[in-house]
Structure 1
Amino acid sequence: MTRVGVVGAGVMGTGLTQNLTEHGHEVVLTDRSKEALDRARAEIERYERFGALLGATGPQREDMTRRVTYSTDLAELGEVEFLVENITENWELKRELYPRLDAVCRPETVFAVNTSAIPITKVAARTGRPDRVLGMHFMNPVPMKATVEVIKGWHTSQQTIDTAQSLLASVGKSGVLVNDSPGFVSNRVLMLTINEAVFLVADGVATAEQVDRIFTECFGHTMGPLATADLIGLDTILYSIDVLYENFQDSKYRPCPLLQRMVDAGLHGRKSGEGFFRYADAA
């Protein structure tokens, strides 16, 4: 396998493209926004120049940029052997996208859904290849995280799982295979934790700084839940919690109203310059 399609040129898609190309894969990176593709190109070029300072260890980093094809046309994905989709965590967008991907890609191409909460079986039903669809939940920043949550849908074949694990191994990663469920393992736990941390701030029990200090200094976590939320993006957090609430119909997944207000106000975390904390280095 050498040619991989990446759909969505946001933070995750860009990081995944970096990781794939520095390990020798050719990548077709698509996005409906030319501006997003231009930002991704600039970031990948910067990563190639300064990768050593960022801890990148790929053996072929010097050839990264020439291995990427950038396009707003999904038809460019027609010859990829494996595809990873990374668009916004929004079911309506994914529901519309997958029949289009199914039409342009070869029948044997594997589709990996890089989602934090949307059920894989639900996505696979929008294609004519449900046995070749699985979840691959990459963590951010992709080049620095060695483990991926791999999700088996209802119809996912063992051959598809083996292909996905082989791709991960080729970029220095391993996959933990779990069964399909909204939020899977990571986000059924993480989203509840973040949502409850937001409630603590909303209820005046503690400030964001105090909440995160307890997790970093008492439990030894690298980041507190609210700094983690800012890194992921509060809009993405809200989408994910909404998916859990809709699928489980359990009140424990009810999004905190403060989270909704912050998203409405454009306070999306690091990418907007402010969330629960302020960031001077926002794009």
Structure 2
Amino acid sequence: MSSDGEKVGVVGCGLMGAGIAETCARAGLEVVAVETNEDAANLGRIRLEKSLSRAEAKGAIASAADVLERVQIGTNLNALADRSIVVEAIMEDEAVKTALFRELDQIVVSKDAILASNTSSIPIIKLGVATSRPGHVIGVHFFNPVPVLSLVELIPSYFTAEATTERARTFVQERLGKHAIDCQDRAGFVVNALLIPFLLSAIRMVEGGFATPEDIDEGLIRGCAHPQGPLALADLIGLDTTRAIADALYEEYKEPQYACPPLLARMVDAGQLGRKSGRGFYAYS
């Protein structure tokens, strides 16, 4: 099946899901996005409208309204029945994702449809074997903000058919204009397996009183030419997501560098999740 005719479904319309829906719609594709309830769907719609308005103001797109017309946001998973590719972008919880893939397997009619996960750490094989079509399940991991960052990690599992991987590559590169890299189905894939220990090291420096978040971030920006410091980046990713990825990495490798620092666990327990909650290592208005 050619990616030119892809009907795209996105499950989840939070930060990542809305970004994936926007990127697909900006590429001229028809998108159906599904959220858990009306409040979440409305928040997703507002998120999408704001992002597209900014893109129009910058001249990145001709018309926000035209792109919005290509996205339907609802609450019924059955609306994904006719989709040829469905991208899951829900919370980073293995049990919840596995249950969703089991449900999508029953709903999506075409057995040629790709069921993709935007997971940043959960093994794809676990999602694939929850379905009757593991050969059509693949990891397609976008990076935040999705409309801006060009990288996508492609993660086939042990059972993913080569044709599925190549069709996903065509979709990502030719249809969406992104750059795909190939990753083995191991927790963290390429980017997070390198990035998360770095972020955790910065958190341990704060925890141990070695330096303030401001000084650590300034050090990396001014001393290593990083565009953003590790603690501001953790706030952007979400401290809950950072913790979830760390936990998945530690579960897989059992190496101390992947262990969640107590400070990170306490901040997440206190609801200080970074930008999304208004406070993490920094305060956000």
Query: Of the candidates 226, 229, 240, which is equivalent to residue 231 of structure 2?
Result: 226
Gaps of 5+ in 2: none
Most deviating of 62-71 and 239-248: 62-71
Q: Separation in 2 of the partners of 1:66 and 1:39?
A: 17
Q: Separation in 1 of the partners of 2:24 and 2:12?
A: 15
Pair 1:261 & 2:281 matched: no
Match of 1:275 in 2: 280
Does the CA contact (< 8 Å) of 1:22 and 1:64 recur in 2? Answer: yes
Match of 2:193 in 1: 188
Q: CA RMSD in A?
A: 1.5
Match of 1:101 in 2: 104
Match of 1:75 in 2: 78
CA displacement at 1:62 relative to structure 2: 4.4
Q: Separation in 2 of the partners of 1:47 and 1:204?
A: 38
Match of 1:131 in 2: 135
Normalising to structure 1: TM-score of the pair?
Answer: 0.94
Match of 2:215 in 1: 210
Q: Separation in 1 of the partners of 2:94 and 2:160?
A: 20
Gaps of 5+ in 1: none
Query: Of the candidates 238, 243, 256, which is equivalent to residue 243 of structure 2?
Result: 238
Q: What are the superposed Cα offsets for residues 138-191 of structure 1, whole Å, 9 maximum, x if unpaired?
A: 000000011211112111122111211121121211201111101111111111
Q: What are the superposed Cα offsets for residues 231-256 of structure 1, whole Å, 9 maximum, x if unpaired?
A: 01001111111111112223332100
Q: Separation in 1 of the partners of 2:163 and 2:222?
A: 44
Does the CA contact (< 8 Å) of 2:123 and 2:187 recur in 1? Answer: yes
Match of 2:181 in 1: 176
Q: Separation in 1 of the partners of 2:139 and 2:195?
A: 18
SS at match of 2:69: helix
CA displacement at 1:133 relative to structure 2: 1.0
Match of 1:113 in 2: 117
Match of 2:33 in 1: 29
Q: Separation in 1 of the partners of 2:257 and 2:124?
A: 22
Aligned length: 279
The percent of aligned pairs where both chains have the same amino acid is 38
Normalising to structure 2: TM-score of the pair?
Answer: 0.94
